């Protein structure tokens, strides 16, 4: 097949995250299996307009703030009839490809939609813009098949009026090298937590920092590793300073895959408290390292964490509950190790290759040519 992929960012974008890794890993396998993949994405400072990455032909346009208006016109200029299918990732705001292109079937991938939670993350005007653009999705894409990253996303789409039979849940994979435990890496001597992900307001890393500060009474040497970068880092650093928790919280920034693996193996517990997630890649990565996670009972996370088995869920926004659940796991070595073993077994069920295989079948169905 000839596949045109549309996503706001590519893997080399400085602001790339878990979704961009998913896009790259998926397309990389498709190319290896003999398919042609072009990727339309936004440009950024210093990036070439076109390049080939892992066999994927990357075509960059203007910055991501106007990308959704540029992409459908660029797709038309490329000659959509040369493609068997167009896969649009709606990770920020939609490009409304079916409005502009009717000669080629369009399939849609949605990690999650923000809905009104956009107003907690963005300035009011930008949030209103994003919220408004989400409303026509059920109508504009009514003829499309939808790939949802989790059952909770699928339920949200059904609630918005998209027929359930047009939605398929395909879980993502992760770097399976994380499953290969390094016997030379030991858990930290003192209690430790790790957060992995972008530092965005809706990720609510502030809840983890607040819980960590409170836990110092019971665990004076507790240490929180915050792995990742983002535009909310400044506010989080101010929070840490206001709590006098500088010695307990370490901002690790962007780290190599090797260092990330080491930190996840070292930490006693993972922590994830997003308002909403498509799935929870950080949870599965920690699980692969044998580290259970305490997470908010919020969309996406409630699926990536098996409550009471691979970690624990707490009511979102409840710092006291978060603190208590973390304290319980830190104090109970047997429970923590049992959950770690279960977490590693849980992570083994997911792989990029399997995701690529199922998503390719999804695209074949979208073309109407599946066997």
pLDDT digits (tens, 9 = 90+) for 174-209: 888 887 878 888 999 999 999 999 899 999 999 999
Q: Are residues 311 and 213 in the same domain?
A: yes
Q: Is the pLDDT of residue 371 over 60?
A: no
d(CA 74, CA 69) in angstroms, rounded, equals 9
User: Do residues 148 and 165 make contact, with C-beta atoms less than 8 angstroms apart?
Assistant: no
> Domain of 250: which CATH number?
3.40.50.2000
Q: Are residues 153 and 237 in the same domain?
A: no
Distances (CA, A) of 11 to 17, 32, 90, 179: 8, 18, 16, 23
Task: List the domain range (segments joined by +) for residue 248.
Answer: 176-347
Domain count, the chain: 2
Tokens of 130: 């994003």
Q: Are residues 73 and 36 in the same domain?
A: yes
User: Do residues 236 and 209 make contact, with C-beta atoms less than 8 angstroms apart?
Assistant: yes
Tokens of 114: 């923000």
Cα–Cα–Cα angle for 212, 214, 216, rounded to 5 degrees:
75
d(CA 226, CA 346) in angstroms, rounded, equals 24
Tens of pLDDT, residue by residue over 276-332, are 898 888 999 999 999 999 999 999 999 999 999 999 999 999 999 999 999 999 999
Q: Is the dihedral of CA 326, 294, 11, 6 positive or negative?
A: negative
- What confidence tier does 41 reach under pLDDT thresholds 50, 70, 90? very high
Q: In what order do the strands lie in the sheet with 249-253?
A: 249-253, 223-227, 192-196, 269-272, 293-296, 311-314
Q: Is the pLDDT of residue 93 over 70?
A: yes
Average pLDDT over residues 227-235: 94
DSSP string, 1-18: -EEEEE-S--TTSTT--H
Q: Are residues 7 and 93 in the same domain?
A: yes
Q: Are residues 97 and 215 in the same domain?
A: no
Q: Are residues 315 and 215 in the same domain?
A: yes
Average pLDDT over residues 66-91: 94
Q: Are residues 192 and 149 in the same domain?
A: no
pLDDT for the residue 18? 85
Q: Are residues 143 and 182 in the same domain?
A: no
Pairing verdict, β 36-41 and 85-89: unpaired
Q: Are residues 313 and 182 in the same domain?
A: yes
Q: What is the DSSP letter of 157?
A: H
Residues linked to residue 50 through DSSP beta bridges, in sequence order = 59
User: Do residues 324 and 109 make contact, with C-beta atoms less than 8 angstroms apart?
Assistant: no
pLDDT for the residue 370? 56
Average pLDDT over residues 85-109: 95
Q: Are residues 207 and 304 in the same domain?
A: yes
d(CA 141, CA 255) in angstroms, rounded, equals 38
d(CA 311, CA 313) in angstroms, rounded, equals 7
Q: In what order do the strands lie in the sheet with 146-148?
A: 50-53, 56-60, 36-41, 2-6, 85-89, 106-110, 146-148, 167-169
Q: Are residues 50 and 154 in the same domain?
A: yes
**H helices within the chain, ranges in order?**
18-32, 67-78, 97-100, 118-121, 124-134, 137-140, 151-159, 205-215, 233-242, 257-266, 281-288, 301-304, 319-331, 333-347, 352-367
- What confidence tier does 112 reach under pLDDT thresholds 50, 70, 90? confident
Q: How far is CA 122 from the centre of its chain?
A: 18
Q: Are residues 182 and 76 in the same domain?
A: no
Q: Which residue has the tokens 């999650």?
A: 112
Distances (CA, A) of 70 to 67, 133, 146, 212: 5, 15, 22, 44
pLDDT for the residue 76? 94
């Amino acid at each position: 097949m000839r596949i045109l992929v549309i996503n706001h960012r590519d893997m080399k974008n400085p602001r790339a995250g878990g979704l961009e890794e998913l896009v790259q890993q998926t397309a990389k396998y498709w190319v290896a299996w003999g398919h042609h993949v072009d990727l339309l994405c936004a440009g950024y400072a210093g990036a070439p307009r076109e390049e080939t990455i892992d066999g994927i032909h990357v075509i960059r346009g203007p910055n991501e703030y106007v990308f959704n208006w540029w992409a459908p016109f660029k797709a038309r200029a490329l000659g959509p009839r040369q493609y068997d299918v167009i896969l649009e990732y709606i990770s920020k705001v939609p490009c409304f490809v079916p409005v502009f292109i009717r000669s080629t079937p369009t399939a849609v991938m949605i990690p999650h939609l923000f809905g009104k939670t956009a107003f907690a993350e963005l300035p009011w005007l930008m949030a209103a813009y994003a919220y408004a653009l989400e409303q026509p999705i059920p109508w504009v894409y009514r003829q499309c098949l939808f790939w949802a990253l989790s059952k909770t996303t699928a339920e949200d789409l059904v609630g918005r009026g998209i027929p359930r039979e047009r939605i398929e849940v395909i879980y993502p994979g992760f770097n399976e090298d994380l499953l290969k435990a390094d016997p030379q890496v030991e858990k930290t001597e003192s209690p430790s937590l790790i957060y992995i992900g972008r530092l965005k307001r809706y990720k609510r890393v502030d809840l983890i920092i607040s819980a960590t500060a409170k836990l110092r009474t019971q665990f004076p040497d507790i240490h929180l590793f915050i792995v990742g970068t983002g535009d909310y880092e400044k506010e989080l650093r101010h929070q840490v300073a206001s709590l006098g928790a500088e010695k307990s919280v370490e901002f690790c920034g962007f780290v190599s895959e090797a260092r990330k693996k080491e930190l996840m193996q070292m930490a006693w517990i993972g922590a994830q408290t997003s308002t909403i997630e498509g799935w929870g890649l950080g949870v599965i990565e920690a699980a692969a390292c044998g580290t259970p996670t305490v997470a908010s009972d919020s969309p996406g996370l409630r699926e990536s964490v098996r409550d009471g088995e691979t970690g624990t869920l707490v009511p979102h926004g409840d710092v006291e509950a978060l603190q208590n659940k973390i304290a319980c796991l830190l104090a109970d070595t047997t429970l923590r190790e049992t959950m770690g073993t279960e977490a590693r077994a849980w992570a083994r069920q997911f792989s990029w290759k399997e995701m690529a295989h199922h998503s390719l079948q999804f695209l074949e169905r979208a073309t109407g040519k599946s066997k």
